[in-house]
Structures are given as structure tokens and as C-alpha cells.
């Protein structure tokens, strides 16, 4: 009998129609897209071949902080798929769209850089106790779903277990940022939490903008509307009516 994991309510959820810290829900499952046409495949191949003009050779994405190599991305995607295989044996199935693992993992890798940039912009330093506090929060959320932390974030959030330390750091940075946005005190009331959560997307946008994120077209484009990597929308004449998701992609930061 299959078990369904309640999607991680972590602050570090890549947001696409999701709320920020501390209770972020995953995006709802979407229907599988039609098979890509042969012409579209040829277009993507052509883009990949000339990707060196906008991204460094061998890079899945490049930011002003560092490059994310194709080999590191491939390694993390393999680790996520291994976690999925383990989850499946336990009756757990992925809550994120299957077949988009590369974009999902690349989204996480870029998001962690966004939060490192936030830390630099706001002069935030993270201590070991901050990391432990973030870890305890994540563990409590996993316990509510009666699963382990690894299961909670692999099945529920498409996060390779090997990236959990990065998640803890990003979570600690976000907690510190929310405190700063609340005038130096942790937001405790519902009204305070709502107020700082409304300010959070702009801070993420400013950090992402400063990173000058450049995704290799082979892996998609960076969508600022959800701070995530999505498949490159088709621009072929054969596709005169692009899908709603494609037309909604925001390639430029709105901040």
C-alpha cells in the first residue's frame, strides 16, 4: 500500500505558487506534457551546442558567485533518483512532477546561492546553533508526516538527501532575515509573520538579480516568477499556441 508524504513545509521550498517561511507547501502535481516534437528536440540541441556563448563550457548554470557544473548537477540528480528508489520500496511516491528532476535539483542549487547572497547583502552570519535550530524545525515537520527527514525532502520536495546541510544553512539564513525584516525581533504573531512573508519575495528577487543567473539552455531557463528552473518554452513556428506555463515564464527580475 502506497503512503503519501505531506509535502515539506520548509522555508526553503522553491516557490511556484507557494508561500514562504515557515510553512511552505509544494506545488500541486501537474499533468505530463505531450512528447516533445522532433523539431523541438533539434532546436534544444542547437541551443545546447552554442550555449558556450552565454554560459561557461561544462556548466549547467553560472552566477556571479560560482558556476554549477554539469557533473555536479548530474551527480545530485542521480542521488535524488536513488532516494526515490528507496522511497518507492517503502510505499512513498514523489510529490513533484516526475521527469523534471534535473530542473528541480538545479532549482535547489541556485536557491542555495540566492540565500548565500541574501546573507552577504544583509550581513547575516550563521552559527552552529542556528543550523541546529533549523534542523530541529525540519525534523519536527518530517515527524508530523511520520517519515524520516530524508524521505520528507526527497519524496516531498525533490531534494537529494546529500543537500540537506545546504537546506539547513538556507533555512537559518531565512530565519535571520525574517527577524531583521521584523525590526530585530523574531516574528511571533500571525500579523507579524504575514508582514515579513510579504517582504521576503522582494529580498529573494534582489539577491537573485544580483547573482545574474544564467542557466544553460540545455536545462531550461530561470523563471523569476517562481525562482525556479523550468523547461525552455518552445518558440518554433510549429507551436503557434504556447502553453500557459510557457507564456507565464518571467525571465527578467521584477525588482
Among residues 105, 115, 227, the alpha carbon closest in space to that of 169 is found at 115
Residues of 142-173 as b/e, b for ≥16 C-beta within 10 angstroms? Answer: beebebbbbbbbbbbbbbbbebbebbbbbbbb
In this prediction, residue 55 carries a pLDDT of: 53
pLDDT > 80? residue 211: yes
Q: What is the model's pTM?
A: 0.74
Cβ-based neighbours of 115, under 8 Å, separated by 6 or more: 12, 169, 170, 173, 174, 207
**pLDDT by residue (tens digit) across 2-18?**
554 444 444 454 333 33
Among residues 219, 208, 246, the alpha carbon closest in space to that of 54 is found at 219
How far is it, in rounded angstroms, from Cα 193 to Cα 22?
Answer: 9
pLDDT > 80? residue 209: yes
Among residues 162, 70, 171, 161, the alpha carbon closest in space to that of 112 is found at 171
User: What's phi and psi for 39, nearest 5 deg?
Assistant: -65, -35
- CA 124 distance to own-chain centroid: 21
Q: Model confidence at 244, in pLDDT bands (50, 70, 90)?
A: very low
Q: Does residue 221 contact residue 215 with C-beta atoms inside 8 Å? A: yes
Q: Is the dihedral of CA 8, 10, 16, 17 positive or negative?
A: positive
How far is it, in rounded angstroms, from Cα 192 to Cα 124?
Answer: 20
How far is it, in rounded angstroms, from Cα 227 to Cα 24?
Answer: 14
How far is it, in rounded angstroms, from Cα 180 to Cα 202?
Answer: 14
How far is it, in rounded angstroms, from Cα 255 to Cα 20?
Answer: 17
| 237 vs 151, more confident | 151
Among residues 110, 109, 118, 113, the alpha carbon closest in space to that of 178 is found at 118
Q: Model confidence at 248, in pLDDT bands (50, 70, 90)?
A: confident
Among residues 147, 125, 114, 142, the alpha carbon closest in space to that of 213 is found at 114
| Average pLDDT score over the chain | 79
How far is it, in rounded angstroms, from Cα 94 to Cα 114?
Answer: 25
In this prediction, residue 3 carries a pLDDT of: 53
Amino acid at each position: 500500500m502506497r503512503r503519501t508524504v505531506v509535502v515539506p513545509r520548509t522555508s526553503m521550498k522553491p516557490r511556484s505558487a507557494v508561500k514562504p517561511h515557515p510553512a511552505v507547501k509544494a506545488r500541486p502535481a501537474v499533468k505530463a506534457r505531450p512528447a516533445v516534437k522532433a523539431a523541438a528536440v533539434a532546436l534544444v540541441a542547437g541551443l545546447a551546442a552554442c550555449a558556450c556563448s552565454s554560459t561557461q563550457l561544462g556548466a549547467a548554470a553560472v552566477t556571479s558567485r560560482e558556476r554549477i557544473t554539469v557533473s555536479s548537477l548530474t551527480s545530485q540528480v542521480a542521488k535524488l533518483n536513488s532516494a526515490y528508489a528507496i522511497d518507492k520500496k517503502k510505499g512513498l511516491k514523489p510529490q513533484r512532477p516526475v521527469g523534471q528532476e534535473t530542473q528541480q535539483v538545479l532549482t535547489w542549487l541556485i536557491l542555495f546561492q540566492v540565500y548565500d547572497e541574501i546573507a552577504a547583502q544583509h550581513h547575516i552570519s550563521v552559527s552552529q546553533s542556528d543550523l541546529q535550530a533549523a534542523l530541529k524545525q525540519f525534523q519536527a515537520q518530517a515527524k508530523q508526516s511520520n517519515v524520516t527527514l530524508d524521505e520528507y525532502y526527497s519524496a516531498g520536495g525533490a531534494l537529494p538527501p546529500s543537500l540537506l546541510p545546504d537546506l539547513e544553512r538556507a533555512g537559518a539564513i531565512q530565519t535571520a532575515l525574517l527577524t531583521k525584516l521584523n525590526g530585530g525581533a523574531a516574528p511571533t504573531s500571525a500579523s507579524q509573520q504575514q508582514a515579513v512573508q510579504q517582504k521576503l519575495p522582494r529580498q529573494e528577487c534582489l539577491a537573485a538579480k544580483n547573482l545574474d543567473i544564467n542557466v544553460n539552455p540545455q536545462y531550461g531557463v530561470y523563471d523569476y516568477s517562481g525562482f525556479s528552473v523550468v523547461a525552455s518554452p518552445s518558440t518554433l513556428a510549429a507551436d503557434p499556441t504556447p502553453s500557459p506555463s510557457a507564456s507565464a515564464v518571467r525571465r527578467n527580475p521584477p525588482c
